[in-house]
């Protein structure tokens, strides 16, 4: 916790012991912390040099803690100033890079990443550096980051970063995929579903995109995973436009208080509306789930799902599932 101001974890442990015991010797601290006595003596000397501890006058071998603020706050302020200067330097270099990017040739606008671990690292960096928003296309069969392992998303959401994530229908067939989406939506992710997506990609602040490349319907070997990093260019503009087109066509995914995905609204159905369990089936169907996926999710047979959908068709007075979706939207069934 205090590494940012030059205090090691072991020094912090010794200092906390001094704070709670008022005065102590190296032997007493060694007995309390389990550290070697010679090591504690060196740590006490280091703390004294940094102004956090002092030898007790008239009591050889005993030390007392000094107040932390006079010793640590100046260090913290210097570190804060250094970080701000570094941030400004990075910003200046970034702007300089962008101004001169085309002079170096358009190939500089595209970078290649090789290997699953390198891709995971860049995806983490992309999210950690985001200031406003992340746009995602999530296809089935991951190439580097399994569903549920993207902890950087939850940290970014906690910072107030907006996440708009599009999932293709087959994504929900992966183990635990639905539960992972529920968890993300509950903490602020905006999720939508479409029948299929043309590629995988993540776009940060509409200034840089990462596009993993993999053959359709296959999971690449970790050592063979390749991705492109695409910065400000007409290609990036095209990817953003592609996202917006699919986002507009996507079906919003909502999460109920029971942790179910797809069912929307709390209003009680009227006499001409479907029952709650049928609403759930309807919402999953419109979100792009297959009959098999819905059956697995609900723990029923595929035949039961099809029977419920037929009942919904009859209730709406329509003949096709597309018409059912249109009717459901007009009647506010979702």
Span of 143-152, 188-197, 252-261, 296-305 with lowest mean pLDDT: 252-261
205 with 82, same domain: the answer is no
Non-local (6+) Cβ contacts of 205 within 8 A are 130, 131, 132, 133
CATH value at residue 239: 3.30.870.10
List residues bridging with 133 in a β-sheet: 162
CATH value at residue 291: 1.10.10.10
59 with 183, same domain: the answer is no
pLDDT at 163: 94
Concatenating the DSSP letter of every residue in 227-278 gives: EEEEESSHHHHHHHHHHHHHHHHSEE--B-TTS-BS----PPP-TTS--HHH
pLDDT at residue 241 greater than cutoff 90: yes
Q: Is residue 201 part of a domain?
A: yes
In the predicted model, what is the mean pLDDT of residues 189-213?
Answer: 90
129 with 237, same domain: the answer is yes
pLDDT at residue 321 greater than cutoff 50: yes
Ordered strands of the 190-194 beta sheet? 110-114, 226-231, 208-213, 201-204, 133-138, 162-168, 190-194, 251-252
Which of 100, 126, 146 represents a domain boundary (last residue)?
Answer: 100
| pTM for this prediction | 0.53
Tokens 């999530």: give the residue. Answer: 138
In the predicted model, what is the mean pLDDT of residues 210-230?
Answer: 73
List residues bridging with 190 in a β-sheet: 164
85 with 158, same domain: the answer is no
Tokens 């704070």: give the residue. Answer: 19
Cβ-based neighbour number of residue 333 at 10 Å? 23
Which of 252, 286, 301 represents a domain boundary (last residue)?
Answer: 252
In the predicted model, what is the mean pLDDT of residues 76-92?
Answer: 78
Q: Is residue 264 part of a domain?
A: no
Q: Is residue 181 part of a domain?
A: yes
Which of 66, 100, 134 represents a domain boundary (last residue)?
Answer: 100
Span of 66-70, 212-216, 282-286, 320-324 with lowest mean pLDDT: 212-216
pLDDT at residue 270 greater than cutoff 50: no
pLDDT at residue 269 greater than cutoff 60: no
18 with 81, same domain: the answer is yes
pLDDT at 267: 37
Range(s) of the domain holding residue 86: 1-100
pLDDT at 132: 92
**Cα–Cα dist 133/64, whole Å:** 49
**Cα–Cα dist 30/36, whole Å:** 6
For 129-180, write each residue's pLDDT tens digit.
899 999 999 988 877 787 778 889 999 999 999 999 999 888 888 778 888 8
136 with 173, same domain: the answer is yes
163 with 206, same domain: the answer is yes
Q: Is residue 271 part of a domain?
A: no
pLDDT at 262: 54
144 with 201, same domain: the answer is yes
Q: Is residue 105 part of a domain?
A: no
pLDDT at residue 101 greater than cutoff 70: no
pLDDT band at 65 (very low <50, low <70, confident <90, very high): confident
**Mean pLDDT over the full length of the chain:** 81
Cβ-based neighbour number of residue 258 at 10 Å? 7
pLDDT at 220: 52
**Number of compact structural domains in the chain:** 3
In the predicted model, what is the mean pLDDT of residues 238-262?
Answer: 79
* Percent over 90 (pLDDT), the chain: 16
248 with 114, same domain: the answer is yes
62 or 273, which is more confident?
Answer: 62
Non-local (6+) Cβ contacts of 99 within 8 A are none
Q: Is residue 305 part of a domain?
A: yes
pLDDT at 250: 81
In the predicted model, what is the mean pLDDT of residues 61-87?
Answer: 79
pLDDT at 318: 73
Q: Is residue 262 part of a domain?
A: no
247 with 114, same domain: the answer is yes
pLDDT at residue 248 greater than cutoff 90: no
pLDDT at 66: 86
pLDDT at 217: 47
pLDDT at 268: 35
């Amino acid at each position: 916790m205090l590494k940012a101001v030059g205090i090691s974890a072991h020094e912090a442990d010794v200092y906390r012991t001094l704070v709670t015991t008022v005065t102590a010797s190296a032997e007493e601290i060694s007995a309390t912390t389990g550290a070697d006595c010679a090591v504690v003596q060196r740590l006490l000397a280091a703390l004294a040099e940094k102004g956090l501890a002092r030898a007790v006058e008239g009591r050889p071998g005993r030390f007392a803690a000094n107040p932390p603020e006079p010793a640590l706050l100046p260090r913290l302020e210097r570190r804060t100033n250094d970080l701000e200067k570094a941030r400004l330097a990075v910003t200046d270099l970034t702007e300089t890079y962008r101004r001169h990017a085309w002079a170096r040739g358009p190939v500089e606008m595209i970078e290649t990443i090789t290997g699953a671990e390198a891709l995971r690292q860049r995806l983490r960096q992309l999210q950690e550096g985001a200031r406003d928003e992340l746009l995602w296309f999530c296809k089935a069969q991951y190439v580097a980051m399994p569903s549920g392992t993207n902890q950087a998303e939850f940290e970014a959401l906690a910072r107030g970063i907006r996440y708009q994530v599009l999932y293709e229908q087959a994504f929900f067939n992966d183990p635990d995929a639905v539960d992972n989406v529920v968890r993300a939506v509950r903490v602020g992710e905006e999720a939508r579903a479409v029948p299929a997506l043309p590629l995988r990609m993540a776009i940060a602040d509409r200034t840089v995109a990462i596009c993993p490349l993999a053959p359709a319907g296959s999971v690449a070997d970790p050592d063979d995973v390749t991705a492109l990093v695409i910065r400000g260019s007409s290609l990036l503009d095209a990817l953003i436009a592609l996202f917006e087109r699919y986002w507009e066509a996507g079906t919003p995914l909502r999460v109920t208080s029971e942790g179910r995905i797809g069912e929307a609204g709390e209003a009680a159905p009227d006499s001409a509306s479907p029952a709650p369990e049928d609403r759930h089936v309807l919402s999953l169907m419109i979100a792009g789930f297959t009959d098999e996926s819905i059956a697995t999710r609900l723990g029923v047979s595929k035949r039961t799902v099809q029977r419920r959908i037929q009942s919904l068709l009859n209730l709406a007075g329509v003949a096709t599932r597309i018409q059912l979706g249109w009717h459901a939207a007009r009647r506010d069934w979702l």
